[in-house]
Structure 1
């Protein structure tokens, strides 16, 4: 408790300790702090009394700090540096032109969707900083709910009263098969025709995995799993190697070598949208980026 009491007394005097260490002169410290010299002297004496030893001793026309006071002053300067850094970040946080946005999104969106939206926003707000976090849909939902993300691009949209979710665009889901596959030249294919195929799937927790499982169940079968992965590019690469088929969004800017993309009948789409915590005030920078996404031209 004695340490806590001393800390409580020291906290308001951090700048005084730091200034005394730099000036080694009571009068000069009082001038810099804009406080009468007698007030400075009383504060120094009171701190010394609380600590149990004087903070200063005479040194010529000035003073020097005792060893104990030096230790306190060093700690004060470190603390003031942290406070100054925190104040700078706080100012940036409330400035829409220099703020910070933590954006979460699915791996599939990192190829073109996210870079495009960031480029467009940064063209008008070049000093806004972004932290980008990728992961599965469930990972993004968990991080958003925990306050680790400001905004999250998700598909499908969450049905959670703690979150606000706004649709941005519909994204078509296609059957991706090896270029030499029997279905590669087809203009369309029904899910029921895939009952005997080996599937390359994303792991549980990804929206596309849930969609594949649901579409397969509706068609009367459970997908035969050849491989599971965490990255759509890995899944597509395994398909190109002839190791299975997959349901994936259209590859941009065009179908890559080694695979064919075949539309499903009836067409299958998923809604891509933006989510944020429903009852939390967003910073100006986050609000600016959110509104940019909600009002810009179609996302996909």
Structure 2
């Protein structure tokens, strides 16, 4: 290790840190070089130069590839964070110059990809045809974690993360939740069902981390009982299919094409509010701000099953 200041050493390390981050991701110098678009010998020389600057090896052989040493993992983790920040800055500069050709990374719950998300994007693209979208689906918790880390620009989720001071949120739409049961179930001919009547029923629901699971658990807790979970899934259509197979009942958003199940309104009616969330700490690019404002304006037909919040 040299005696120069940390600042000077960091400045000398910076140009080659991308290769270290890429090696940490791929576990192979050749693949890392391909990822960065540089020749493999160049990547090897940069790794060797980094090790010389640090005064310790950064990689060691591992099978047919390589793995990072402890020093290498420390630098690679910092490199990845720095590169994410720089990529965001480069994107912001590029889109400030030409906002009409920006990109929006949008995270949303699986079920919203059927109607809400396509409706909002279609309405937005009528006025901003050059803006591109990268769509990411997953659980509410995964989407919000990615939003906090800067990997996603905006998230459509329910419930909104109102308890997180680092995130801003605006309600977009309300969606009614109903009880889905197989046609042979004792509730199938009922006009309404109270949540308290679900005591002892085998429930099919989503895994922890999904907003619908949180709503289901809260609804049962408010009725004074702990839900009896028969199956957990990661997608609402799978849950609906298990209900249709007679494997339990589920609280799900009302569907316009619910085949094989009977949907019964809850008493009192239950709605979930879907909102758009963004990081207050991130500088939103013009394209992201424009799409967020479009979604918040509520001027687009939200599709069947939704009503403006």
Structure 1: segments with no counterpart, 5+ residues:
12-85
Equivalent residue, structure 2, for 1:270? 272
Match of 1:120 among 120, 123, 126: 123
Query: Which region of structure 1 is more displaced relative to structure 2, 136-145 or 278-287?
Result: 278-287
Q: In the TM superposition, what is the alpha-carbon distance from 1:180 to its structure 2 partner?
A: 2.4
Match of 1:180 in 2: 184
Correspondence for 2:226: 222
Question: Do the aligned residues in 2 keep the contact of 1:153 with 1:275 (CA within 8 Å)?
Answer: yes
User: Aligned partners of 1:280 and 1:194: how far apart in 2?
Assistant: 43
> Displacement of 1:92 after TM fit?
4.0
Cα distance in 1 for residues equivalent to 2:97 and 2:230: 50
User: Bigger CA drift: 135-144 or 120-129?
Assistant: 120-129
Runs of 4+ in 1 over 6 A off after TM superposition: 86-89
Contact 1:93-1:100 at 8 Å conserved across structures: no
- 2:254 is the alignment partner of 1:250: yes
Residue 292 and residue 142 in structure 1: after superposition, are their counterparts in 2 closer, same or farther (change >3 A)? same
Cα separation, 2, equivalents of 1:147 and 1:201: 29
Are 1:202 and 1:229, in contact at CA under 8 Å, matched by a contact in 2? yes
Aligned partner of 2:284 in structure 1 is 282
Q: TM-score, normalised by structure 1?
A: 0.68
Go from structure 1 to structure 2 and tell me whether the alpha carbon gap of 1:270 and 1:128 turns closer, same or farther (over 3 Å shift): same
Q: Secondary structure at the match of 1:138?
A: helix
**Contact 1:236–1:246, Cα closer than 8 Å, also in 2:** yes
Measure how far apart 1:100 and its partner are: 0.5
- Within the alignment, does 1:170 sit opposite 2:174 as a pair? yes
2:290 matched to 1:294?
A: no
2:110 to 107, 111, 117: 107
Q: Which TM-score applies when normalising by structure 2?
A: 0.66
SS at match of 2:100: coil
Seen in structure 2, the aligned counterparts of structure 1 residues 88 and 286 have a Cα distance that, compared at 3 Å, is closer
RMSD between superposed Cα atoms in Å: 2.3
Distance 1:215 1:167 in 2: 20
Q: Would the alpha carbon gap of residues 276 and 201 (structure 1) be closer, same or farther in structure 2, given more than 3 Å must change?
A: same
Write the distance in 2 (CA, Å) between the matches of 1:150 and 1:275.
Answer: 9
Would the alpha carbon gap of residues 136 and 88 (structure 1) be closer, same or farther in structure 2, given more than 3 Å must change?
closer
Deviations 1:181-230 (A, max 9, x none): 22122111001111121110100001111111111122222111111000
Is the contact between residue 95 and residue 284 of structure 1 (CA under 8 Å) also seen in structure 2? no
Q: Work out the CA distance in 2 between the residues paired with 1:98 and 1:216.
A: 47
